[in-house]
A and B are shown apart, each in its own frame.
Chain A
Amino acid sequence: MRIYLYILVMAGVSYAIRALPMTVLRKPIKSRFIQSFLYYVPYVTLAVMTFPAILHATQSQISGALALIVGLAAAWLGADLFKTAVVCCAVVFILEFFV
């Protein structure tokens, strides 16, 4: 029972965080600073979360590093979400045969 209460607290807080700005900010923000800030936020967040975390996601840091490099190259050359993800997985899967 206590576990379900924990889950409810988590779910309530998570939803409030996600729904408040979406529902409260009904009008466009005029400030150029805030507009620019919000434009940069997603890319910075994702970049921060990717590195160095990817190095510790795998059994060896080398395979994580190589997955990162190959993933960056693949995305740069135009691979979409799925292809980039598959390429990263394949690098780790193959490399960890040897490491």
Chain B
Amino acid sequence: MDKKRDYLQGVRDGVPIGLGYFAVSFSLGILAKNVGLTPIQAAVMSLLNNASAGEYMGLTVMAAGAAFWEMAVATLITNARYLLMSCAMSQRMDPATPFRHRLIMAFDITDELFGITIARPGYLSPWYMYGGMTPAIPGWAVGTALGTLAGSILPLRVVSAFSVALYGMFIAIFIPPARKDKVIAVLVALAFAASWLFSRLPGVSALSDGTRTIILTVVLSAGAAILFPRKEEEAAGA
């Protein structure tokens, strides 16, 4: 494993993520300001959490002045998908990799960093992930702080344009495998349909975005795993 090469590749792939984070966390910062956080507090929150939906949820809990245990439960539910991602990553670690790397990599398991790290073939490279974290972590924290500081200065249309950056990155992660694997293509289409349905159905639509995401992820992935189990070598090397 070439540490330096992996790290530099990670930085290269992490730059668009950092830029996207900067844009998205800017709007998170605007919300943080409305809840009453200072730019420093907002930056510390983002530095320690690295979670868009999780922090959004956290801010609404703060705004409500809720109890600390409620904050813990809300965070647990909104961020539960990272538990699944962490499971998936644990299966792709080289047994020879020192334990400390698992502790550091775990700190920044986000949708995007998970996506680019797991998309590479073979064992996961800690150095590749650290490369990705290098622009991503400051992008997220500085964006939040600046949003808190100057959120209302940018015209609405610019904020609106920035806010789809994150979804563009999601799309670029699930489309390439969907192109190669029909099961994933169908799964993505089903996920779109089911997610739309869940946002409309009475009762279910009252659940938080995070909870709906967890339910749909578990149900659809389990269904696909039962109907279309991967062959051993595919599952290990994918």
A: residues with CB less than 8 A from B are 3-15, 17-26, 28-29, 32-54, 57-59, 63-64, 67-68, 71-72, 74-76, 78-93, 96-97
Contacts and interface: CB of A to CB of B under 8 A. Distances in A.
Nearest to B93: A22
B150 interface: no
Given A17-B86, A22-B89, A23-B106, A47 B195 contact: yes
Interface of B: 13, 15-17, 19-20, 23, 36-37, 41, 44-45, 48-51, 54-55, 58, 61-62, 68, 71-72, 75-76, 79-91, 93, 95, 99, 102-103, 105-107, 109, 111-112, 114-116, 118, 156-158, 160-179, 183-184, 187-188, 191-192, 194-196, 199, 209, 212-213, 216-217, 220-222, 224-226, 228-230, 232, 235-236, 238
B171 A84 contact: yes
B221 A22 contact: no
Given A14-B75, A42-B114, A88-B164, A75 B230 contact: no
B90 A22 contact: yes
B220 to A, nearest CB: 5
Given A9-B72, A15-B107, A35-B236, A63 B160 contact: yes
Given A12-B72, A28-B236, 13 more contacts: A3-B37, A10-B55, A13-B72, A18-B85, A22-B90, A35-B91, A37-B224, A39-B238, A40-B224, A85-B166, A86-B165, A86-B168, A88-B164
Contact of B235 (A19, A25, A36): A36
Contact of B225 (A5, A33, A88, A91): A33
